Amino acid sequence: MSGKVVLITGASSGIGKAAAVRFLKQGYTVYGAARTEADLKYFNDYPNGHYILMDITEAEMRKNCVNQILKNEARLDILVNNAGYGAYGAVEEVPLQDVKKQFEVNLFGLSELTKLVIPGMREKGSGRIINISSIAGKIWTPLGGWYHASKFALESLSDCLRNELREFGIDVIIIEPGAIETNWAETAGDNLLESSGEGIYQKQAERKANKYKQMYGEGGMAASPEVVAEAIFKAVETDKPKARYAVPAHAKLILFFRWLLPDSLYDFFTNKFF
């Protein structure tokens, strides 16, 4: 048994569930948080597993979640900020309330939850904060402006936080997944067509939605969430974690070409792809 306590948000499915199972099997005490109890019942299969209902945008639920863990365990060693979703559509057409919701989930709720765990980590002089970003925080695609903006913001916030907390023995690590087999793509595709599936951006929206089906469907480039879970586990287990882990291989390749190509060429190839 590791003796360490982990909190994973968005643990009901996809990357969050895969990460939770990875840590549970290695003997960590794992708390999974999500909004739907039925999707968290798998924690009951593990003696070291626990779940807490939490909407990350609700202040009282965030506070209750952390307080419950500290009351039960007297410590919280690792926070995996995984909860998130994609609000896709043309910048012109996505309603402001949807933009705000995107940032409330992907950035503000995440940062407020992080603030709650920092004091305990600082007091004991160690801790790991793992922020699940995306290669979307380094690249851009048509009709993804607000999602990309939220992930670009998370990248810079994480970089600043990493350097602010370094002297207290707390590591802040960014995980940058590429295409992963989760319900994220379906949600993003639905949001895209709802926001921009009619009107002036209709052709772009339909092309991108179809491309998502190819990427995330059978025979597509999407990798299993266990690949990301392994990267998260590696970032926790290693003595000296890197600032960033891009997974799987295609994510590293895309980021390499983004670094290599000037904006005009990157724009050309991205628009060709989509």
C-alpha 227/C-alpha 94 separation (Å) is 32
Nearest to 235 by CA among 82, 87, 114: 82
CB atoms within 10 A of CB 213: 12
Active site residue 147: yes
C-alpha 273/C-alpha 208 separation (Å) is 9
The torsion of the CA quartet 213, 215, 218, 224, rounded to 10 degrees, works out to -120
Q: Contact 41/88 with Cβ under 8 angstroms?
A: no
Beta-bridge partner residues of 180: 223
Q: Which residue out of 147, 201, 216, 245 is catalytically annotated? A: 147
Provide φ and ψ at 29, rounded to 5°.
-85, 115
List residues with catalytic annotation.
147
